[in-house]
A and B are shown apart, each in its own frame.
Chain A
Amino acid sequence: MDMGERQPAALSDLPILREIQMVSVERASKIYGEAPGFAALDGVDLAVYKGDFLAIVGPSGSGKSTLLNVIGCIEKLSSGTLRIEGFAVNSLSPDALAELRSAKLGFIYQTFNLIPVLTALENVELPLYRRNVPARERRQRAIQLLRDVGLERFASHTPRMLSGGQRQRVAIARALINRPSLILADEPTANLDRKTGLEIIQLLGNLNRRTGVTIIFSTHDPHIMRQATRVIEIQDGRMPAPGR
């Protein structure tokens, strides 16, 4: 990946990085609906370190998406604390959270979530449109990222003209364009066949190893979770083995 200053080495192995908490979740609960409501997260404790390639696994409905949305500052916790790079974000305004996502986070989804009226290249550029990145630089970064995910030739294709695996590669490139320090991927391989899914997760793994970007992904596929450097289980909104 073109991350400039960083060297392609297994940065996550450096002991010093193991000390820096990228994400910290303490006694986190998320209750849906009216009281008493449904606890999708029920007292979760989790620490994610810089350079982690972390898999969150659990059966359907266990709260994986909810946890990723909470860490991604997309859903608010009902109680508990969330820290990103040591900074408590619970009390931030929606606009501040948007800025935080725009500056620090990248998102990848099971459903790809590309904008159908934009080309692959424009989809990759999309997060930068709202930031003051000059058009030339924006375009260059997007083309480089498409090259990195092997889709340079498909820059002018709209999502509808791409296969599932290609779409997910575009989504990965989009998640990287703002040079995030944390990427959240909610079942990135669930809509892909096994071979393509494996390619995608290996692409993310390589990315993690080469650049040290922290990646958290969810899955319930054993082949996929095997690629992670750390696996954490969630069940009924709880973590049987504490994630610390």
Chain B
Amino acid sequence: MYYIKLGIRNIFRNKGRSLVTLAAISFGCMALIISGGFIEDAITQLREAYIRAILGHVQIHRKGYYQKGGSKPFQYMIPSSQAVLQELARFPQVKNLAPRLEFSGLLSTGETSIAVIGQGVDPERERHISTLFVMTEGSNLEVDDEFMVIVGTGLASAVGLKAGSPAVLLANTKAGAINGLDAQVKGVFHTVHKAYDDRAVRVPLKMAQKLLETQNVQTITIIAHDTSQTDELRSALELHFKGRGLDLEAVAWHQMPDADYLLKTIAYNRRLFLILNIIIIISVVLSIINTMNMAVIERIGEIGTFMAIGYRPREVARLFLVEGAVMGLLGGVLGMAGGYVSARLISWIGIPMPTPPGTTVEWIARIEIVPEVFGLALAAAIATALAASVMPAMKITRLEIGEALRRNV
């Protein structure tokens, strides 16, 4: 206890120097909190943009769809009965769900044809799934639409389509024939995923089923109440399917092939944060080492006194370690407070950001308040200050007491 008391008093002894060191620690802390919050926010925004426009949290398919569904799409159908949807909706994590029918086909404008990925969607249900799906032109599909399509921005500009343009959609039917339907472009959309916008066409589910001559769907896309419920929901569904002997699988967003780019971006950003952390911590360490070194050198006479009156070298060294840790704690707490305030402030203002690579949207960066990052920053501050005090404190254990005492003049 008195070690802490002594530590605090010694910190306030050289106010100017301690202030600089505290500032270094708390700015380091703030830098961690802000950069961590920034990166976490970027990750969250990007992830949510993928989930809430393309992936959903969990998708349900017939087992094996990802392995073989591409070549034999019609063998991996599931009936899109209301009963199935209602059964799934009973899971407490499920917020919304919608059936999708996916196909590859050709979109023809009369002059050119282009290979597309088609998605038949239930316009009403899909509205609650694809909440971050942005229409740049025209409008989204509605319940009564029959022969209407919406196309991605990249696709629209590649073949010169606009809202109102006529187009023909061609695809293989279940029986193997080629079927074509006349349609009108109702709107142009974009998502966060450029590769998707370059190829995607969304059509009303009924039109897709007519085109493919099927009554089924391939996918049921589910949005949970929160992204953090994803894995819990997936396990619950898997358990349910197994229990019922159903030939279905539940796939989480991070397991989907389309999430590959997203996952790599997340990993890349986290690595960036780690490197940033190391740089910040090193500069804080150097500042603290310097301060503690000076504190030890200045107080050599005093250290001699402590040892003369019976303190072991290790006990005196501990005094300086505690002083360092207290400094780290003070700086860390200040840094957390400063980090919180500036994160709030920056988020309130918002930083307009250019489009990230591989995506098509500009976005407003905010600083997410991440409790883990705050904890990390405080722990880093204390650990860093403590570690930086070790070397100066080691000096004490090598000190000759008589020599040290002669510094008292």
Contact = CB atoms under 8 A, between A and B. Distances in A.
A118 B312 contact: no
Interface of A: 66, 69, 72, 74-75, 94-95, 98-99, 101-103, 105, 107, 109, 111, 113, 115-118, 126-127, 129-130, 174, 178
A163 to B, nearest CB: 18
A99 B310 contact: yes
A69, A115, A117, most chain B CB atoms within 10 A: A117
B86 to A, nearest CB: 70
Interface string B1-29: 01000100110010000000000000000
A156 to B, nearest CB: 14
Given A109-B408, A130-B315, A115 B308 contact: no
Interface string B376-407: 00000000000000000000000011100100
B365 interface: no
B309 A127 contact: yes
A129 B313 CA distance: 15
B13 A117 contact: yes
B313 A69 contact: no
Contact of B402 (A69, A95, A107, A178): A69
B297 to A, nearest CB: 16
B312 A95 contact: yes
Interface string B272-308: 0000000000000000000000000000011011111
Contact of A111 (B306, B307, B315, B408): B408
Nearest to A129: B2
B308, B310, B400, B401, most chain A CB atoms within 10 A: B310
The 8 closest A-B pairs by CB, nearest first: A102-B310, A117-B9, A75-B402, A113-B305, A111-B408, A101-B310, A98-B312, A127-B309
A74, A102, A107, A109, most chain B CB atoms within 10 A: A74
B409 A111 contact: yes
A74 B305 contact: no
Contacts of B311: 98, 102, 130
29 contacts: A69-B405, A72-B308, A74-B307, A75-B401, A94-B313, A95-B312, A98-B307, A98-B313, A99-B310, A99-B312, A102-B309, A102-B310, A102-B311, A105-B310, A107-B308, A107-B309, A109-B305, A111-B301, A111-B408, A113-B304, A113-B305, A115-B306, A117-B10, A117-B13, A118-B6, A127-B309, A127-B310, A130-B311, A130-B315
A195 B301 CA distance: 28
Contacts of A94: 312-313
Nearest to B305: A113
A178 B305 contact: no
User: SS class of chain B's interface: helix, strand, loop or mixed?
Assistant: helix
Given A102-B311, A105-B310, A109-B405, 15 more contacts: A74-B401, A74-B402, A75-B400, A75-B402, A98-B311, A103-B310, A107-B308, A111-B301, A113-B405, A115-B305, A116-B13, A117-B6, A117-B10, A127-B310, A130-B310
Nearest to A117: B9
A185 B356 CA distance: 74
Contacts of B310: 98-99, 101-103, 105, 127, 130, 178
Contacts of A118: 6, 9
Nearest to B8: A117
Contacts of A111: 301, 408-409
Contacts of A99: 310, 312
A103 to B, nearest CB: 7
Contacts of B402: 66, 69, 74-75
Interface in B172-231: none
Interface in B151-171: none
Contacts of B13: 116-117
A139 to B, nearest CB: 12
B159 to A, nearest CB: 79
B7 to A, nearest CB: 10
B395 to A, nearest CB: 15
Nearest to A69: B402
A111 B305 CA distance: 11
B171 to A, nearest CB: 83
A94 B400 CA distance: 10
B322 to A, nearest CB: 13
A113 B401 contact: no
A135 B120 CA distance: 79
A20 B373 CA distance: 67
A111 B307 CA distance: 16
A40 to B, nearest CB: 10
Contacts of B409: 111
Contacts of A69: 401-402, 405
Nearest to A125: B2
Contacts of A130: 310-311, 315
Nearest to A75: B402
A187 B308 CA distance: 16
Nearest to B7: A117
A101 B2 contact: no
A105 B310 CA distance: 9
A31 B408 CA distance: 22
Contacts of A105: 310
B301 A113 contact: yes
Contacts of A103: 310
